[in-house]
């Protein structure tokens, strides 16, 4: 798993300037992904997960969105400073994206074959029509759809099958990095298991690195090598999978893990995190989690804590040293 560094994000800041004020969506996110590695990006609604994924590919709509600061290095080159021509080589080719909603991310008036062929054709000028079609068929088979369905339209496919088509499109150009934004959230569990199983197989076969964005700690635990927890536009904790799940150090991570009803243990009562996510147009000063935190003291609201290394690449943005799983 210790491949070369493929993607490195430094201090990325993204805002949306709306009539209701400035939405501070990302407030200085730094992270990296190595070749062939899967990073789980976990957070709740409004934490900035999707903004981060879109920011990597410069897909933030401007206005209202604005990348205020930061750098995104992909294989050493800053994506944010690339010419449109260079960016085009990266998008859909070296980095591709799978969106959450399989129902709306396919074009309803194109056959699935045409949609897979499109991305292959755009990035491979030298291929003939037949070669493109051949590749599209091969891709369709790889995601477990029989070749005779290539001329069907999206409405003829179920949700799980549509998501397979979308993954086929995303992987058609053999990308080095796949950004998967809640790829299985809209699917039923048995179908989710099929799709995750397929993603895992293909990723290993093609040695694709992946950022898996999810709110589901179960999906992340079963798929990822490393995890980053995002809250109010900041990474609050990151580390390898075991450290995060077995030895969480940020009170938010601890709270998230405690809120899930367990299938393996019997709990009489859940331990929710009190309160709500802060309003991104009006973030509290200091640690954004402090108002909901059981361990917070006055020092917490003075300044945003730095990410500090607790060993083994386990970074935590908290001034306290709480040992996970213990009470207050």
Partner 1 sequence: MAKEELLRVENLKKYFSTHSGMLHAVDDVSFSLAKGETLGVVGESGCGKSTLGRTIIRLHEPTGGKIFFRGEDITDADKKRMKELRRDMQIIFQDPFASLNPRMTVSQTIEESLLIQGLFSRRDKEGLRKRVHELMDLVGLSERLVNSYPHELDGGRRQRIGIARVLALNPEFIVCDEPVSALDVSIQAQILNLMQDLQDSFGFSYLFITHDLSVVKHLSNEIMVMYLGKMVEKCSTADLFRNPRHPYTKALLSAIPVPDPDFHADRILLEGEISSPIDPPAGCRFAARCRYATDRCRQGDIPLREVEPGHFVACVLD
What's the min distance (Å) between Cβ of 158 and partner 1? 5
Using a 10 angstrom Cβ sphere, with 0-12 exposed, 13-18 middle and 19 or more buried, the burial of residue 325 is exposed
Interface pick for partner 1 out of 202, 220, 304, 318 (rule CB under 8 A): 220
Q: Select the span of 63-71, 77-85, 148-156, 194-202 touching partner 1 (CB under 8 A).
A: 194-202
Query: How many angstroms separate the CA atoms of 27 and 229, rounded?
Result: 14
Q: Select the span of 98-106, 132-140, 268-276, 297-305 touching partner 1 (CB under 8 A).
A: 268-276
Place of tokens 């386990």: 314
How far does Cα 55 stand from its chain's mean position? 11
Interface pick for partner 1 out of 32, 242, 310, 320 (rule CB under 8 A): 242
Write the Ramachandran bin of 21: left for phi over 0, alpha for psi from -120 to 50, otherwise beta: left
Place of tokens 């020092």: 299
- What is the end-to-end Cα distance of the chain in Å, rounded? 36
Interface pick for partner 1 out of 10, 35, 44, 118 (rule CB under 8 A): 44
> Residue 73: how many CB atoms within 10 A of its CB?
17
Please report whether residue 283 would count as binding partner 1 according to CB under 8 A: no
> Which CB, 153 or 245, lies closer to partner 1?
245
Please report whether residue 245 would count as binding partner 1 according to CB under 8 A: yes
What's the min distance (Å) between Cβ of 1 and partner 1? 14
Give the count of alpha carbons within 13 A of 11, CB side only: 5
What's the min distance (Å) between Cβ of 218 and partner 1? 3
Q: Select the span of 98-106, 127-135, 254-262, 280-288 touching partner 1 (CB under 8 A).
A: 254-262
What's the min distance (Å) between Cβ of 185 and partner 1? 11
Which contacts of 252-258 are long-range, i.e. CB under 8 A and separated by 24 or more positions? Answer: 252/289, 252/292, 252/293, 253/229, 253/324, 254/322, 254/324, 254/325, 255/292, 256/42, 256/217, 256/229, 257/217
What's the min distance (Å) between Cβ of 242 and partner 1? 5
Please report whether residue 281 would count as binding partner 1 according to CB under 8 A: no
Please report whether residue 216 would count as binding partner 1 according to CB under 8 A: yes
E strand or H helix at 222, and its extent? helix 217-223
What's the min distance (Å) between Cβ of 241 and partner 1? 5
Please report whether residue 193 would count as binding partner 1 according to CB under 8 A: yes
Q: At 64, list the tokens.
A: 């209202």
The secondary structure of residue 91, as a DSSP letter, is B
Which contacts of 86-90 are long-range, i.e. CB under 8 A and separated by 24 or more positions? Answer: 87/58, 89/123, 90/57
> Which CB, 155 or 246, lies closer to partner 1?
246
Please report whether residue 200 would count as binding partner 1 according to CB under 8 A: no
Q: At 54, list the tokens.
A: 């879109």
Please report whether residue 189 would count as binding partner 1 according to CB under 8 A: yes
Please report whether residue 194 would count as binding partner 1 according to CB under 8 A: yes
Please report whether residue 320 would count as binding partner 1 according to CB under 8 A: no
Query: How many angstroms separate the CA atoms of 250 and 229, rounded?
Result: 9
- In sequence order, the 6+-apart residues with CB closer than 8 A to the CB of 279 are none
Binding mask 127-166 for partner 1 (x = CB under 8 A): -------------------------------xxxx-----
Interacting residue ranges for partner 1, rule: CB under 8 A: 44-45, 158-161, 188-194, 196-197, 215-222, 241-242, 245-246, 255-264, 267, 269-274, 276-277
């Amino acid at each position: 798993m210790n491949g070369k560094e493929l993607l490195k994000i430094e201090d990325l800041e993204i805002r949306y300037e709306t009539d209701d004020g400035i939405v501070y969506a990302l407030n200085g996110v730094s992270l990296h992904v190595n070749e062939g590695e899967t990073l789980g990006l976990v957070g709740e609604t409004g934490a900035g997960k999707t903004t981060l994924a879109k920011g990597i590919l410069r897909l933030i709509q401007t206005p209202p969105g604005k990348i205020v600061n930061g750098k995104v290095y992909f294989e050493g080159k800053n994506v944010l400073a690339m010419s449109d021509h260079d960016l085009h080589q990266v998008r859909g080719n070296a980095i591709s994206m799978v969106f959450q909603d399989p129902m709306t991310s396919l074009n309803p008036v194109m056959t699935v074959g045409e949609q897979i062929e499109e991305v292959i054709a755009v990035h491979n000028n030298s291929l003939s029509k037949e070669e493109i079609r051949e590749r599209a068929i091969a891709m369709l088979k790889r995601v477990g759809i029989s070749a005779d369905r290539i001329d069907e339209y999206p409405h003829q496919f179920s949700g799980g099958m549509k998501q397979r088509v979308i993954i086929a499109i995303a992987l058609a150009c053999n990308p080095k990095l796949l950004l998967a934004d809640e790829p299985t959230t809209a699917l039923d569990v048995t179908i989710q298991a099929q799709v995750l199983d397929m993603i895992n197989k293909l990723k290993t076969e093609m040695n694709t690195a992946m950022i898996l964005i999810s709110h589901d700690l179960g999906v992340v635990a079963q798929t990822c090598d490393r995890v980053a927890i995002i809250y109010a536009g900041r990474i609050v904790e990151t580390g390898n999978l075991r450290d995060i799940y077995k030895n969480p150090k940020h009170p938010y991570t601890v709270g998230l893990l405690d809120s899930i009803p367990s299938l393996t243990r019997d709990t009489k009562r859940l331990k929710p995190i009190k309160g709500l996510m802060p309003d991104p147009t009006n973030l509290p000063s200091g640690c954004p989690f402090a108002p909901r935190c059981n361990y917070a003291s006055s020092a917490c609201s003075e300044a945003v804590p730095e990410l500090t290394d607790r060993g083994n690449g386990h970074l935590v943005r908290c001034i306290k040293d709480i040992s996970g799983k213990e009470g207050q």
